[in-house]
C-alpha cells in the first residue's frame, strides 16, 4: 500500500514507519521538524528511516497548499495522521499552535483526502479528551467528556470533525485515543523522560499536585501494534465507519511508583519539590474492551519491561 504518515519524525510516527517499511509498504513521511523539543532527536529518527520505500516531505500540515499537493500527487491508499502540536502544559503558553496544527491541519488533511477520493484515514486522538471524568476506567462510550486543556479540546475537536466527514462523504475514519505512550526515542517533554533526565543528573524534579496522579503508561510497541491492527481493520470495512478506540495499558502507574522505579534502576536519590497545576488530570485509565473486540488487540509489555527498555536506550543515547 501507499501510506502517508504525518508526524513521521515524531516518537510514535518514527516507530510506526519502521514497522510499515518492514511490511514493504511505500511510506510518504510528513513532518515540519519543529523545535518544540530537541530537533536533533527528530533528525536521528529520520536518519534511521533510510529506506528506498520511504520518502520524506518537510511539510507543515497547517499549510493547506503543501499537504493538499502531496495528497493529490501521491493518491495514497491510506493516511495516518500523527502530526500535532503535542503537550498539555505548552497549550497555556502558545494556544495558537494547537489551533493551527491540531485543528486546521487535521481539517486540511480530511478535505484533501475527500477531494482526492482517499476514503480511509486513521488519526491520533488522546486520553486527555476524558479530562477529569469520574467514569473510570475511561470507556469510549462515556456519556460525558471533560477536557481541561486546549490540547485535549483540540483532540476532541478532531473526533467531531472526523465524524462529520465520515457521515457526509462516506469516509472510513478511526480515531485512536493513546494513553501516555513511552519507550526508546521518546519525547523529552514527557514526565518519565524528564524525571529520568533529572534524576540521572542529580537534579531536583518537580512533582505536580503532591504526586496524587496516575497514568496508564502504554509501551510504544503495543501502540504500534494497535495502529497496525487498525490498518487491517479499516481495510476490511466494506461500509464507511467512524470508530473511536482506546489504546492503553489498562494498568495505571502512580507518579510515585514511576519516580521510585527510576531512582532504583539508576541507583540515584530522588530530590523533589511540589507544585500545583490545574491542567493535570488525576488519573488516566483505559477500558480496552472495544480494541480487544474489534482489533483483537491488547498490550503485551509490562511497565517494568518497558521502562527497562527505555532506560537502556536512554543510557546509550546519553552515553552514560
Write out the chain's pLDDT in tens, 320 residues: 999 999 999 999 999 999 999 999 999 999 999 988 999 999 999 999 999 999 999 999 999 999 999 999 999 999 999 998 877 667 677 888 889 889 999 999 999 999 999 999 999 999 999 998 889 999 999 988 988 888 999 999 999 999 999 999 999 999 999 999 999 999 999 999 999 999 999 999 999 988 889 999 999 999 999 999 999 999 999 899 999 999 999 999 999 999 999 999 999 999 999 998 777 888 999 999 999 999 999 999 999 999 999 999 999 999 87
pLDDT score, position 280: 80
Provide the grid cell at 90.
505548552
Closest CA to 166 of 98, 231, 214, 237: 237
Q: Which of 98, 123, 151, 182 is catalytic?
A: 151
* Backbone conformation region of residue 4, classed left if phi is above 0, alpha if psi is from -120 to 50, else beta: beta
Catalytic-residue membership of 208: no
Task: Tell me the angle at which helices 303-317 and 255-266 cross, rounded to the nearest 10 degrees.
Answer: 50
pTM, two decimals, is: 0.96
Give the domains, in start order, of the chain with CATH numbers: 2-185+217-250+284-300 (3.40.50.720)
pLDDT score, position 132: 86
Beta partners for 3? 27, 78
Closest CA to 13 of 33, 304, 311: 33
Other residues' Cβ atoms within 10 Å of the Cβ of residue 142: 16
- Fill in the DSSP letter of residue 171: -
Amino acid at each position: 500500500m501507499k501510506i502517508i504518515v504525518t508526524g513521521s519524525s515524531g516518537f510514535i510516527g518514527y516507530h510506526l514507519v519502521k514497522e510499515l517499511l518492514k511490511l514493504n509498504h511505500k511510506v510518504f513521511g510528513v513532518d515540519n521538524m519543529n523545535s518544540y523539543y530537541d530537533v536533533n532527536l527528530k533528525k536521528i529518527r529520520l536518519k534511521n528511516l533510510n529506506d528506498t520505500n520511504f520518502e520524506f516531505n518537510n511539510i507543515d500540515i497547517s499549510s493547506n497548499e503543501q499537504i493538499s499537493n502531496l495528497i493529490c500527487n501521491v493518491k495514497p491508499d491510506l493516511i495516518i495522521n500523527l502530526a500535532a502540536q503535542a503537550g498539555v502544559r505548552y497549550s497555556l503558553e502558545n494556544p495558537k499552535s494547537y489551533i493551527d496544527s491540531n485543528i486546521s491541519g487535521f481539517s486540511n488533511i480530511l478535505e484533501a483526502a475527500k477531494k482526492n477520493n482517499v476514503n480511509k484515514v486513521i488519526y491520533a486522538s488522546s486520553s486527555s479528551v476524558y479530562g477529569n471524568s469520574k467514569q473510570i476506567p475511561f470507556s469510549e462510550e462515556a456519556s460525558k467528556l471533560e477536557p481541561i486543556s486546549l490540547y485535549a479540546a483540540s483532540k476532541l475537536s478532531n473526533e467531531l470533525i472526523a465524524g462529520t466527514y465520515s457521515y457526509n462523504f462516506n469516509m472510513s475514519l478511526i480515531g485512536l485515543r493513546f494513553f501516555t505512550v513511552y519507550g526508546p526515542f521518546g519525547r523529552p517533554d514527557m514526565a518519565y523522560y524528564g524525571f529520568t533526565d533529572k534524576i540521572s543528573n542529580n537534579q531536583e524534579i518537580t512533582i505536580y499536585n503532591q504526586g496524587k496522579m496516575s497514568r496508564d503508561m502504554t509501551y510504544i510497541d503495543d501502540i504500534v501494534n494497535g495502529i497496525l491492527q487498525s490498518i487491517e481493520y479499516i481495510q476490511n470495512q466494506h461500509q464507511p465507519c467512524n470508530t473511536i478506540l482506546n489504546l492503553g495499558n489498562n494498568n495505571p502507574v502512580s507518579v510515585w511508583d514511576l519516580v521510585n522505579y527510576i531512582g532504583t534502576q539508576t541507583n540515584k536519590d530522588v530530590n523533589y519539590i511540589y507544585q500545583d497545576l490545574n491542567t493535570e488530570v488525576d488519573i488516566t485509565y483505559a477500558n480496552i474492551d472495544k480494541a480487544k473486540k474489534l482489533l483483537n488487540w491488547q498490550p503485551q509489555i509490562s511497565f517494568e519491561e518497558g521502562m527497562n527498555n527505555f532506560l537502556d536506550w536512554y543510557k546509550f543515547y546519553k552515553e552514560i
